[in-house]
Structure 1
Amino acid sequence: MSTVHRDEILDFVTYGEKRDQIRDSAMAAKERRRVIVADVLTFLFESHETVRYQVLEMVRTEQLVKESDIQHELDTYNELLGKDGGLGCTLMIGIRDPEERDVKLRTWFGLCAHLYVKLDDGAVVRATWDDRQVGDDRLSSVQFLQFPVGGRVPVALGCDHPVVTAETQLSEDTRVALTEDIEAVS
């Protein structure tokens, strides 16, 4: 997948002038790549456009001007993109009640090992994740995942955790978007 390069990042003043248009396009890109499983697991497959938008927002919010700071944001957010024909995504666990969320994030510890995509031939590809996000006894409500699909586009996304078991078929629009992402190269 194509990474975001420094020359694609506007200064925060110029970005502010173009923000509405860039944001509208990024939100449309996110919508095509959003998949909900079991009502509480929202997966957002990241793309060049979604990562560029996130970096631009950080530059604007933090009013970054130093090249090293901007490069740090690029390096950080580019990690979210799929590697070697794979797909990267952000998982957001949406449990509104703080007490219920705390209990479930402890009960669901180890959830990432139960996340998968299913390919058109029925093959299951398990998620990999960043160990830096995993605590000793509690899951973080935001996880950054990779699905090493080897250039293939999944047809479903699911979870087979003993407490959370569900699978969602990907829409045709999502599959087209993921195909575009996998085929995009740096």
Structure 2
Amino acid sequence: MAKITRDSLLSLEAYHKDRPEIREKAIQERRIRTVHLGEHLTMIFENEFLMRYQIQEMLRVEKTFEEEGIQDELDAYNPLVPDGTNFKATMMLEYPNEGDRKVALAKLVGIEDKIFIEVEGQPRVYALADEDLERSTAEKTSAVHFMRFELTPDMIKALKAGAQMMVGCDHKEYPMHVKTLPHETLASLITDLS
């Protein structure tokens, strides 16, 4: 998969004009690529379109025209574009009540290393989390983690041939699996694999 480049971005003026249509597509794409593990853990499987939208939104909000600022956004979001042999995701732990969130984040230390995908007939693949910087401490985990799931050629072949995929967490404080991904979610994820 190609990374997003400065030359491939819309100007702020062009983006402003096309934004309603792009935003609607991004909302639909994010909905399709979101997997909920229980009531508190959400995985958004990122792709080039969603990261391009995020970059364009950041440039719009911050009114960024300078090359350096544009490059900063590209450097921040390009690592979340799948490379053709992996899925990349943003994982969020969502607890609306601040007190509940504080307790949960302390109990869920290490959860980012217990998130997995399992392609039917293949071994589990655990997330490689927070490769850019450490987001957890010994006392608590972060509410947001960025992860990569690296797939073998056999896993990619199985998915393209119609195998199902499960997403799960086997942290002792939050054991949760999604047995069957919706067809449109799995179909969208498969487009990340070259």
Tell me if TM exceeds 0.5.
yes
- Residue 145 of structure 1 corresponds to 147
Question: CA offset at residue 136 of structure 1?
Answer: 3.9
Q: How does 1:2-151 map to 2 (within 5 A)?
A: 2-83=2-83, 85-130=85-130, 131-150=133-152
TM-score (norm 1): 0.92
Letter in 1 for 2:149: F
Do residues 157 (structure 1) and 167 (structure 2) align?
Answer: yes
Moved over 4 A (4+): none
Letter in 2 for 1:150: T
Which structure 2 segments of 5+ residues have no match? none
- Residue 170 of structure 1 corresponds to 181
Letter in 2 for 1:174: T
Letter in 1 for 2:20: D
- Does structure 2 conserve the Cα–Cα contact (< 8 Å) formed by 1:37 and 1:166? yes
Whole-Å separation in 2 of the counterparts to 1:145 and 1:75: 16
- Does structure 2 conserve the Cα–Cα contact (< 8 Å) formed by 1:81 and 1:89? no
Letter in 1 for 2:182: S
Letter in 1 for 2:190: T
Question: CA offset at residue 84 of structure 1?
Answer: 5.3
Query: Considering only aligned residues, what root-mean-square deviation do their CA atoms show, in Å?
Result: 1.5
Paired residues, number = 183
- Does structure 2 conserve the Cα–Cα contact (< 8 Å) formed by 1:109 and 1:139? yes
**How much identity, in percent, do the aligned residues show?**
28
TM-score (norm 2): 0.89
Cα shift readout 1:70-129 (whole Å, capped 9, x = no counterpart): 011111101112335011000111110000001100110100111100111141000011
- Does structure 1 conserve the Cα–Cα contact (< 8 Å) formed by 2:83 and 2:192? no
